[in-house]
Structure 1
Amino acid sequence: MKYYAGLDVSQQTTSICIVDEEGKIVAERKVASCPEAISEALEPFAVTRAGLETGPLSVWLWIGLKERGVPIVCMDARHANAVLKMMPAKTDRNDAIGLAQIVRTGWCKSVHVKSTASHEARALLATRSQFVRTRCDLENQIRGVLRTFGILFGKRVGGSAKRAEEIIDGDLHASPTIQAVVEALMRARANILEQIRLLDAKVRSIARQNNVVIRLMSVPGIGVNTALGFAATIDDPTRFKRSSSAEAYLGPTPRIYATNVVFAVTCIRQEASL
C-alpha cells in the first residue's frame, strides 16, 4: 500500500494528513514545525511522497526533510490554492487534507528549492544592498538638515567625512543642537560603511572559491556582486531546458537571442558539468 502526506505549515505547528492510494485518510497529526518532528510523524508510514506549499519555512523544512530521507516535494502555493479553494472551510486540517490529495494525484507543480549556499549568498547580497540604501539615506538626511540652515554640503577633496568635519568645526560651531545631530548622523554613517566593507570582503571571499562566479566576471562590465547574485539566483542551471528560458525566469520577456543571459547560463552549465 502506498501512502501520501500533505503538510500544512504554520509558524508554530504543522498539520499532517496521510492518505492511501485510494484517497482514504489513514492518519492525521499536528506536530511542531521542524524537520525532526515532521519526519518522526511520517516515518511509520514510509510515505511514497509528501508535499508542502511554498512559504517562509518551506526552504528550511524541505532541506531538512530531504536530508532525513523523506520524499518531499515543494508545491507552488498559487497552484495549490486553486485546489484548496474547493474545500468547504479553510482550516489547517482541511488544507492538509487537500494537499495530501494533490500529492496523491500528482496535480501539482513542483518548484525548485535553491541550495543552502545560494540562499546564503542571496542573504549576504540583500543585506549589503540594505546597508548601501541606509548609507544613502543618512547622507541625504545630513544634506537636508544642513540645507535648512543655509549650509550646502557640496563636494570637497577628501570625501564626505572630511567635508562634514569642516562644517561641524566651522559653520555649526554656534549651534550645539545641529552640531550634535550631524555628529550622530556621521557616526551612524561611519558604522554603516564599516559593515559594508566587512560584507564586501565576505563577497570577495566567496567569489574567489566559486569558479562559476570567476567565469561570469570575465564578461566586460560584470562585477563580483552581479556575478555572485546571478549565480545564486540561477542555482542549478540544469533546471532550464534552454538558456533563453533563464531571462523569462528573471522577469523580462525574452528575445530568442539574448546574448548576455545565454552566455552566463552557458558558463554555469559548462562549469556544472566539469
Structure 2
Amino acid sequence: MHVTTVGLDLAKHVFQVHGIDQNGQVLIRRQLRRGELIGFFRRLPPCLIGMEACSTAHFWARELAALGHEVRLMPAAYVKPYVKRGKSDALDAAGICEAVTRPTMRYVAIKSSEQQAVLMLHRTRELLVRQRTMLVNALRGHLAEYGIIAPQGLPSVPKLIELAEKARSTVLPELAWRCIRLILAQIEDVHGRIGQVEQEILAWHHTSEVSQRLETIPGVGIITASAIAATISDPGSFRSGRHLAAWIGLVPRQSGTGGKVRLGHISKQGDRYLRRLLVLGATTLLRHARGKTSVTVGWINALLARRPASIVKVAIANKLARVAWAVLQGNQGYRAPAAAAA
C-alpha cells in the first residue's frame, strides 16, 4: 500500500505530516524540518495534499504541485470541525487529512506569484494610508491644543499647515513648531510613497486585460478592479454572482429554526479588503444617483425611498460584486442596460 492522501500542517520551521492510504490506514505520522520538506515529497508518489490556506500556503502549494502532487487549500474554519479533542500539530495534520477528502469541502484557489505580488502592492498601499491617517490625526490633535483647527479631510491639511505657520510667532511655541515640522515631514514622505505604489498598481492594471474589463463597471475604479483581478483567479469556483457576493460578506446573516428565518446584519465573512472597496464604490454611486432619473440609477433612488442609506450602500456593493462576477465569467466588459443606452 502507498500513500494516497496527506495532511500537511504548515509552520515556519517544523512541519507535521499525516499520510494515509486509500483505506484510511495511517502510514505516515512525523515531523519535518523546513529543509527536509521538498525532498520528502519528491520521494513520495503523486498524491492528494491538503493544507490550510494561510500566508505561506500558496508558496508551498506551487512548490508541491510542481512535483506532480494534487494540492488543495482549505479555509482553516472549515478544517476545525475535523480536528479531534485537544490541540497539537499531529492532531491538526490528521484533521487536515480528513477534511481534504470530504466531498462537500470548499477549497481556496492557489494564487500565482504575480497575483501575490499585486496583492502585496495593495497591502502596502493600505498600510501607508493608515500611517498617513495616523499622522494627520496626530497633527490635528496637537494643533487643536493651541486652538488651531481646520475642516476634516486630507484636502484641508494645507490650510491647517498655513494656520500653524501664521500662529508660529504668537500662540504656537517654537518647541511645539519643531515637533509639528517632524510630523509634516513624515506626512509628505508617506504621501509620496503612496503615490509610488499607486503608480505601480496603475502600471500592472494596464497590462491586465481582466482588470481593464472590470474597470468598465460603474463604481469600480483601478484600485478595486486590480484587487478583484488579483484575488479571484478562477471565477468558475463560484456558481453565480450571488455566491461571490456571499463569499465577500455582502449578504445578510441568517438565523433560523423551526421554519422561521431571520435576516440580520451582513455576515462580514470573506475578504474584508474587497468588501471595503466595493462599499466605497457603492458610496460614490449613491452620491451621484441622488436626484437623477435615469434607468441605471432609478432602482437606487427607489430603494432610498424605502431603506436607510447605509443599507442601500450595501445593496449596491452586493450588485457590484455580482456584476463583477458576470464580467469575469463572460470574458467581456460591462454593458449598460439597453434602455439606459437609448
Deviations 1:217-256 (A, max 9, x none): 222332211211222232221212223321111111288x
Secondary structure at the aligned position of 2:241 is classed as coil
Q: Is the 8 A contact 2:46 2:68 kept in 1?
A: no
Q: How does 1:246-261 map to 2 (within 5 A)?
A: 246-253=244-251, 259-261=319-321
Residue 221 (structure 1) aligns with = 219
Kept in 1, the 8 Å contact 2:21–2:27? The answer is yes
Among 200, 203, 206, the residue aligned to 2:204:
206
Gaps of 5+ in 1: none
Partner of 1:128: 125
Aligned amino acid, residue 146 of structure 2: F
Q: 2:167 aligns with which of 161, 166, 171?
A: 171
Selected match of 1:193 from 191, 195, 198:
191
How many Å separate the matches in 1 of 2:229 and 2:109? 15
1:20 paired residue number: 21
Task: For 2:187 and 2:96, locate their aligned partners in 1 and report how far apart those are by CA, in whole Å.
Answer: 49
Other-structure match for 2:291: none
> Are residue 77 (structure 1) and residue 137 (structure 2) matched?
no
Cα displacement (A) at 1:192: 0.5
The residue correspondences of 1:1-274 to structure 2 (distance < 5 A) are: 1-3=1-3, 4-33=5-34, 37-86=36-85, 89-103=86-100, 108-153=105-150, 160-161=157-158, 164=161, 167-168=164-165, 170-173=166-169, 175-253=173-251, 259-271=319-331
CA contact (8 A) 1:7 1:14 kept: yes
TM superposition shift of 1:7? 1.1
* Pairwise CA distance, 1:46: 0.7
1:207, CA displacement in angstroms?
A: 0.7
The answer for unaligned runs of 5 or more in structure 2 is: 253-314, 333-342
Provide the TM-score with structure 1 as the length reference: 0.83
TM-score, structure 2 normalization: 0.68
Distance 1:140 1:31, change over 3 A: same
Deviation by residue 1:130-162 (Cα, 9 ceiling, x = unmatched): 22232222222212211211223469xx97347
Distance 1:115 1:215 in 2: 20
* Shift in CA distance, 242/171, structure 1 to aligned 2, threshold 3 Å: same
Q: Counterpart of 2:331 in 1: which secondary structure?
A: helix
Q: Which amino acid aligns with 2:110?
A: V
The one-letter code sitting in structure 1 at the alignment partner of 2:330 is Q
Relative contact order, CA 8 A, sep 6+: which one is greater?
1
Distance (Å, rounded) in 1 between the aligned partners of 2:104 and 2:319 = 36
Q: Which runs of 4+ in 1 moved over 4 A?
A: 101-108
Superposition CA RMSD, Å:
2.8
